[in-house]
Structure 1
Amino acid sequence: MKNNSLKMLAEGLAENGIASLRYDKRGVGESKDAGLSESELRFEHYVQDAKAWVDYLSKDSRFSEIVILGHSEGSLIGMIATQNPDVTKFISLAGVGTPAGEIIREQLKPQPPFVLEQSLPILEKLEKGETVDEVPPMLFSLFRPSVQPYLVSWFRYDPRQELAKLNKPILIIQGTTDLQVGVDDAEKLANANGRAELRIIEEMNHILKEAESDRTKNIATYSMPELPLQSDLLESILKFLRK
């Protein structure tokens, strides 16, 4: 799927005199060669990468300040990296408001009851920092041994606790037709820090495009690279950056 949403956001910022840096996630695209084997990868590697870019940009005199914007999983990565004093503001875009273990529980609830029943003991051990030797074949794609160390590293972070550590301006943005992250997630984040400003954008989905709540029509936008960003998004970000 190709949607160009983050490219469009970068272009919109540039048109308003704001430089931005986007980089491929470690192990993907142009960053493919920096990837680690699944058993070696940890959530902290993604955080370290974001911090490294902050260190790099902070030495460049062309930029007056550094603001981190994290989208989806990048929201949690971004809020941890924003604890660097060189970062002046943070924007969470479609970021979850609960630890990943709780999210997986919710995602498994629509499955047949025995799927959740077999998953819960595994989740509980991973949340305690312990790996599991025996995984039912049916759950192997989710809890295979090689991915468990990453899950352990990811599960230990609570977005609300990480956001509460920030003593700087925060903007929480969430769309109402996002099929992957809900408005309640944004409200949980906003309630975690008194400096957070919450902006709910009507009919914006997870890829920042205008979309209906109907699942089929919503998902179809994920493969529409020419579809523009939801019209209120850029203005909301610009207003926050210019304060």
Structure 2
Amino acid sequence: MSPREVQLRFPGPDRDLAGTLTVPVGDGPFPAAVLVSGSGPLDRNSNAPRMPIDSTRQLAHALAPAGIASLRYDKRGVGESRSLRDGTTEGRNGWKRVGLLDNAADTAAAFAALATRPEADPGRLFIVGHSEGALLVAHAAAGLLTGPSGPRPAGVVLLSGAAQRGDAVLRRQAAVIAPTLPAPVRALLRLLRVDLISKVSRNHDKIRATTTDVTRIGGPTVNAKWFREYLDHDPRADLSRLDLPVLAVTGSKDLQVDPADLAAIAEAVPGPVETWCAPDVSHLLRTQPGAASLRAYKQEVRRPVEPAVLGRVTKWVTARAARERDEPGVVEERHRG
């Protein structure tokens, strides 16, 4: 038998958000996890119009056979989460008006909604985030741990999660991506004497000077509110409040997040930590043959998420859920794997 999928809506800070609850075969309540997508206009499955990453859907379907329920949702302004409470529907670019902290508030709302579902065991709830989702998970979980009484996460999973300020992450991306560009593009940049890192830093200054949610930087409109919050967001402040079990996984060929940040996550988190640098895995959680390159992304998304990554997450969540069932509330000595 296949797991059951329930389409639902739950209250968010400014609208009801739409999602899918995947329920394992058998009798619940089950351990359960909120699955949070990365940056941009991603739906509940982590798919954008021209980039079907599909990571949250595949993760949900990996967790279910292990007896773990999950809730994944369309981000605010995307898919079925474009409808406002007054009945109107935003245009396709409504997501550009949403800030980083708005997205984190939606993650907390999804966790609260999952905790009320009869299919989910409120004492064994997890939050799993990829890329920006890892930042949202850390921020939401830190707030849930220190906020008013209510369900607390039993653990969090950070996939391709950064441990540096946003502006530092983007400058590093410019530095490591430049050598992977096609040779004619690199030659043109040299001819025009374009320093990508300096250009990125200048764009940061332009965005910080804006006051609107959306603005134009060099032509196209950008989600300025999100960038202003992201540039100065230091995830280590949230990581330092995570007194709970954490699994952090980053691929060795991740060009968007430094794999060395795994050590920084382990250093910052006060709870027990397990880290894994997945060999030859890219930011999209797929194995990437040859030299790391963004140009491989369009081919990568045609393949499944690396089974070893899905297996590592499933095994960790299953083990944590079993331990929480047998010894609720017990936090063991920290572990760095």
- In which range does the TM-score fall when normalised by the shorter chain? 0.7 to 0.9
Quick check: 1:6 aligned with 2:56?
A: yes
Q: Letter of the aligned partner of 2:163 in structure 1?
A: G
Q: Name 1:173's counterpart in structure 2.
A: 249
- Residues 122 and 204 from structure 1, CA distance in 2 versus in 1: closer, same or farther, beyond 3 angstroms? closer
Query: How many angstroms apart in 1 are the aligned matches of 2:83 and 2:108?
Result: 19
Query: How many angstroms apart in 2 are the aligned matches of 1:213 and 1:192?
Result: 33
Q: Is the 8 A contact 2:126 2:154 kept in 1?
A: yes
Q: Is the 8 A contact 1:126 1:151 kept in 2?
A: yes
Query: How many angstroms apart in 2 are the aligned matches of 1:167 and 1:6?
Result: 25
Q: Name 1:123's counterpart in structure 2.
A: 204
The structure richer in strand per residue is: 2
Based on CA coordinates, which of the two structures has the bigger radius of gyration?
Answer: 2
Q: Is the 8 A contact 2:132 2:161 kept in 1?
A: yes
Q: Name 2:26's counterpart in structure 1.
A: none
Q: Name 1:47's counterpart in structure 2.
A: 104
Quick check: 1:19 aligned with 2:69?
A: yes
CA apart distance, 1:37: 4.6
Quick check: 1:202 aligned with 2:294?
A: no
Instruction: Find the residue that maps to 2:120 and give its secondary structure.
Output: coil
Q: Name 1:67's counterpart in structure 2.
A: 126
Instruction: Find the residue that maps to 1:22 and give its secondary structure.
Output: strand
Identity of aligned residues (%): 25
Q: Name 2:218's counterpart in structure 1.
A: 140
Instruction: Find the residue that maps to 2:282 and give its secondary structure.
Output: coil
What is the TM-score with the length of structure 1 in the denominator?
0.81
Query: How many angstroms apart in 1 are the aligned matches of 2:96 and 2:237?
Result: 27
Q: Is the 8 A contact 2:239 2:265 kept in 1?
A: yes
Query: How many angstroms apart in 2 are the aligned matches of 1:186 and 1:2?
Result: 26
Query: How many angstroms apart in 1 are the aligned matches of 2:299 and 2:253?
Result: 12
CA apart distance, 1:125: 7.4
- Residues 3 and 148 from structure 1, CA distance in 2 versus in 1: closer, same or farther, beyond 3 angstroms? closer
Query: How many angstroms apart in 1 are the aligned matches of 2:224 and 2:52?
Result: 29
Instruction: Find the residue that maps to 1:87 and give its secondary structure.
Output: coil
Q: Is the 8 A contact 2:253 2:281 kept in 1?
A: yes
Query: How many angstroms apart in 1 are the aligned matches of 2:68 and 2:96?
Result: 38
Q: Is the 8 A contact 2:159 2:250 kept in 1?
A: yes
Q: Is the 8 A contact 1:99 1:156 kept in 2?
A: yes
CA apart distance, 1:102: 1.4
Q: Is the 8 A contact 2:78 2:94 kept in 1?
A: no
Query: How many angstroms apart in 2 are the aligned matches of 1:155 and 1:217?
Result: 25
Q: Which runs of 5+ in 1 are unaligned?
A: none
CA apart distance, 1:39: 7.2
CA apart distance, 1:153: 2.0
With a CA cutoff of 8 Å and minimum separation of 6, indicate the structure with the bigger relative contact order: 1
Query: How many angstroms apart in 1 are the aligned matches of 2:102 and 2:79?
Result: 17
